[in-house]
Structure 1
Amino acid sequence: MDLLQINLDWWQVAFICFCVITLIQLIYYWGIFRKLAYFKPREREHTQQHPVSVIICARDEAGNLARNLPGVLFQQYPSTHELIVVNHNSQDDTRYLLEEFRKTFKSLEIVNLEHEAKGIPGKKYPLSIGIREANHEILLLTDADCVPASENWLYRMQDAYQPGIEIVLGYGAYRKKPGLLNKLIRFDTFHTAMQYLSFALSGMPYMGVGRNLSYKRQLFLENKGFSSINHLPGGDDDLFIHKVAHKHNTGVVIDENAFTLSEPKLKFGDWFRQKTRHYSTGKYYSPKFRFLLGLYAFSQFMFYPAFIICLIFFSWQWSLVVFGSRFITQAIISYKCMNRLQEKDLWPWWWLFDIWMFFYYCIFASAIWKKPRQNWN
């Protein structure tokens, strides 16, 4: 009898744990991710056009530049602006391609770097050079494999600079293509954006993505650029923003005309290496955000194992009630967030992606301790 009572108590404890895990998830969805789901831009009394320096770093990117550079050069922006392309020791035809573009587009400035910076892996060195060469205070960053989603990208991003704003976060999407891997990559990109955009809208900015990011040149110089993270392969976007962003100086642009589009990886191994490099910087976040992001990931990882245990060994009726509360919440918030970020074709499969996240965390857990590649291309 005592043994039966002990077993019963253990399953009750398991159910309580399941309820706590679900409650944590509901708090994140309704307390934070709701900010993106129900985001409404403020009504603007007037628009503005600041001088802008667009900066792209490239290494052996002749093919991508040939496809994507026209999308940046043909922006509908009548005010003063320039495009700086930093050609970092390319061995392909990048230099000659840029020189051909320069004959037609006088706003294109080319910086050719023919040596490496010792002890500074990644693209922080060429990006720093590009920023120092910039003639304007507002910097708009993207990558060679990205193209603006519209000809109004530059205008929409710079228009977010209100008094006090020094950083503007944008969304860098991936192109829609057939196949399961494409959907997994796009869902992962959406899921990451849902977190950093929602946190920023909640007054807790912690990262940005270099595919679509803007900040002021003076902010970069005042914080001595990337000097504190020069020894790391990555971090030129997320760790720098993590260091300098706060609720008063960070703005968010959620507008399909202000997105950028990139070509997704075609092989799982390539995507794995890319994600490993990105996740390697997370351990350098502040304790506050390591806790907040870790708690969300842990509760998401444990949700389905806890649900299955309670479903089998406790009360399946009560387990389904708790499961249903999260299911309905997640369906609503995910639909609205995907609609905001123009990823609504993923929504019919969101529940499968949610299950996939358990395996995702298992696969990419090694990124926490695995040493990333030193090169940035």
Structure 2
Amino acid sequence: MLLFNLYFFIFITVVQIAYYLGVFGKFSFAKAIKTTPKRIPISVIVCAKNEEDNIINFIPLLAEQNYPDFEIVLIDDASSDHTGAIFEGFEQQYPHVRLVKVANNEAFWGNKKYALTLGIKAAKKEYLLFTDADCYPTSTDWIATMSSQFTMQKTIVLGYGGYEKIANSFLNKIIRFETVLTAIQYFSWAKLGHPYMGVGRNLAYKKEVFFNVNGFIDHMQIRSGDDDLFVNQAASSKNTTICFAPEGFTYSKPKLKYTEWFTQKRRHVATAQFYKPFDKLQLGLFYLSQLLFILLSILLLAFQFQWIIVLSIIGFRYLVTWIVIGFGASKLKEKDVVYWYPIIELTLVVTQINVFITNIFSKPVHWK
């Protein structure tokens, strides 16, 4: 029986190596491609619901972008705080800021996709660039960097949205590591010609792409997924590209409590069940192989069965994965999270199991 487990352990390790070298290496080892700055008209779209503390600081950073032709469409999704009033102030202060007020609608109560749809329809520019109300760009060239990736064929641009660093916080390292690993995954699959998701913190596409798939109509009943489900439906090898130049990054404030982050993960996992079959398969196989690698490592070492071979396999796997993640994290300016990789990976695997089990017995809450 232990011999079978050893062979199975070797197989699982091969699966893991194939993912890291064959898939994730497509991004981690990719060379940056120089692009030509463009002057295409851009509508920056921000949807907010009760975000008065964030927008007061972050919207001015968007308004002061170094770009010749852009507008900012601010969507107030029936906020009950001072978000609407603050947006009105920005509309009066900046001539290129426009406000869209969304009233509560019984049929779409609390549905961000409904609010975003109204904002997209109100946008005057053909190219749309999205970020969240709690996000801010890393430079005044964010719009220029993201829009430079558009071509006649490439009408969807997947960007990177990271989280702020918090000193001496292990939870922060976990959150940022998971964000890096997720970005490496969706960037790599996009480079392989099979884009499956993007993040609303930093995402761009042409308006016609939105209307060609009838917007969010196919998954309007699903509260989340205005970013990843839309990309999963609309993106293809021909129309999608990625942007990982640091000037094109955005950052958000991370969760400060484990319970808050756990709730956020529950929403993400619940949304992923609506991905296309292949995407669910490849994600499921990756996470299952992670879990089995850890469990089989513990089992074989506990019985000291061929422990030299087992330790060699474990060492080789961690060496390969550490290098791949290290190169990817370096591109995303998040290299410090890699130092804690083995511990963080174990924490994420345990958390993932907990999320799956919890979601079976209760539905996560979406939007606000």
Q: TM-score, normalised by structure 2?
A: 0.96
Alignment of 1:86-165 (within 5 A): 86-119=75-108, 121-165=110-154
- Between the two proteins, the alignment pairs up a number of residues equal to 365
Alpha-carbon distance between aligned partners in 2 of 1:213 and 1:271, rounded to the nearest angstrom: 22
Provide structure 1 residue ranges, at least 5 long, that are not aligned to the other structure: 1-9
Counterpart code for 1:342: K
Structure-2 residue corresponding to 1:11: 2
Alignment of 1:1-377 (within 5 A): 10-44=1-35, 46-78=36-68, 80-119=69-108, 121-178=110-167, 179-313=169-303, 314-366=305-357, 368-369=359-360, 370-374=362-366, 376-377=367-368
8 A contact 1:60–1:93 mirrored in 2: yes
Cα deviation digits, residues 322-357 of structure 1 (max 9, x gap): 112211101111110110111111121112212223
Alpha-carbon distance between aligned partners in 1 of 2:115 and 2:108, rounded to the nearest angstrom: 13
8 A contact 1:301–1:361 mirrored in 2: no
Q: Is the partner of 1:112 in helix, strand or coil?
A: strand
- 1:121 is displaced (CA, Å) by 4.5
Counterpart code for 2:313: V
Q: Is the partner of 1:345 in helix, strand or coil?
A: helix
Cα deviation digits, residues 15-56 of structure 1 (max 9, x gap): 001001100000000101101111213234x43121000000
8 A contact 2:174–2:348 mirrored in 1: no
Alpha-carbon distance between aligned partners in 1 of 2:322 and 2:225, rounded to the nearest angstrom: 33
- 1:259 is displaced (CA, Å) by 0.6
Alpha-carbon distance between aligned partners in 2 of 1:215 and 1:227, rounded to the nearest angstrom: 17
Alpha-carbon distance between aligned partners in 2 of 1:367 and 1:258, rounded to the nearest angstrom: 36
What percentage of aligned pairs have identical amino acids?
A: 36
Q: Is the partner of 2:75 in helix, strand or coil?
A: strand
Superposition CA RMSD, Å? 1.4
Q: TM-score, normalised by structure 1?
A: 0.94
Q: Structure 1 residue runs of 4+, over 4 Å off? A: none
- 1:303 is displaced (CA, Å) by 0.7
TM-aligned CA distance change 1:165 to 1:175, over 3 Å: same
- The structure having more radius of gyration, on CA atoms, is 1
Q: Is the partner of 1:67 in helix, strand or coil?
A: helix
- 1:363 is displaced (CA, Å) by 2.0
Alpha-carbon distance between aligned partners in 1 of 2:261 and 2:347, rounded to the nearest angstrom: 16
Alpha-carbon distance between aligned partners in 2 of 1:272 and 1:361, rounded to the nearest angstrom: 9
